[in-house]
Amino acid sequence: MNVRRLMSFLYPDRCAVCDEVVESGNMLCKECSQKIRPLHGDTCHRCGKLLTDTDRLYCYDCSRKIHFYERGFAIFEYSDIKKSLYRFKYSGRAEYAAFYAFAADRVYGKTLKELNLDAIVPIPIHKRRLAVRGYNQAEEFAKELSKRINTPVMSNLIRRCKSTVPLKKLSEEERKNNLKNAFIIAANDVKLKKILLVDDIYTTGATIDTVSALFKEHGAEQIYFITVAIGAGM
């Protein structure tokens, strides 16, 4: 058995949605490639969530709240990709990033290229968490996306200096305070006008907003974001 065959025997390619072993070189199994669909329908012109009331431009949340970013794009509805995202983040399936970037390019590639972005910036995780996980899932997605839309990834502009309590456990007000001091800009001069932030999921937007505000304080003019998944809209 040659090394390549041995490797694919030990570490076979797996479907990025259901994790079944697939033929070498495939990102999805046949069933999932027919079933999985990116977000479709009218979406909020700000955060990108699916709208239930299609007469509106903005979701309930965005029509009441000021965001610090210009516009967000999400590839999948959270419920459709939930298990895959969990494995991507917690079970070492960093390679799923290739499929997420492929899907991102198919849905938003043209739009993202037209924005003439200066850089892709993954939302950082704390170095302790990075040591445990071995990778930052947002950065893996950012690197794959970078190849697709020809925009450089800049991972060192911002650092997570405080390990945050899992956001689910906090109220909205607590989240804000918790996040406010969690990030610092590591570069003296950002010198970027248009930035695409990248994360695995968008829920309330607190993290994306905090980082957007920070970059704007440091001279960025327009902030966009893309996430693999987004929660259901209203």
Residues that bind Zn ion (CB under 5 A): 15, 17-18, 29, 32, 44, 46-47, 49, 59, 62
- CB-nearer residue toward Zn ion: 20 or 217: 20
- CB-nearer residue toward Zn ion: 65 or 176: 65
Q: How far is the CB of 96 from Zn ion (least distance, A)?
A: 11
Residues 23 and 197 sit within 8 Å (Cβ to Cβ): no
**Residue appearing with tokens 């390549």:** 4
Q: How far is the CB of 39 from Zn ion (least distance, A)?
A: 13
- CB-nearer residue toward Zn ion: 29 or 112: 29
Distance from C-alpha of 73 to C-alpha of 105, rounded to nearest angstrom: 11
Residues 219 and 190 sit within 8 Å (Cβ to Cβ): yes
Indicate the pairing of strand 183-185 with strand 194-202: unpaired
Alpha-carbon distance values, 97 to 10, 26, 170, 191, 195 (Å): 20, 13, 28, 28, 20
- CB-nearer residue toward Zn ion: 157 or 196: 196
Q: How far is the CB of 62 from Zn ion (least distance, A)?
A: 3
Q: How far is the CB of 145 from Zn ion (least distance, A)?
A: 22
The region that residue 166 occupies, defined by phi over 0 for left and psi between -120 and 50 for alpha, beta otherwise, is: beta
- CB-nearer residue toward Zn ion: 33 or 164: 33
- CB-nearer residue toward Zn ion: 19 or 115: 19
Q: How far is the CB of 132 from Zn ion (least distance, A)?
A: 27
Q: How many residues are listed for the chain in this entry?
A: 234
Q: How far is the CB of 146 from Zn ion (least distance, A)?
A: 26
Quickly list H helices, the chain: 3-10, 30-35, 60-64, 78-90, 97-114, 127-133, 137-149, 172-180, 206-217
How many Å is the Cα radius of gyration of the chain? 18
Alpha-carbon distance values, 11 to 21, 84, 148 (Å): 9, 17, 25
Distance from C-alpha of 45 to C-alpha of 135, rounded to nearest angstrom: 32
- CB-nearer residue toward Zn ion: 38 or 185: 38
Q: How far is the CB of 205 from Zn ion (least distance, A)?
A: 8
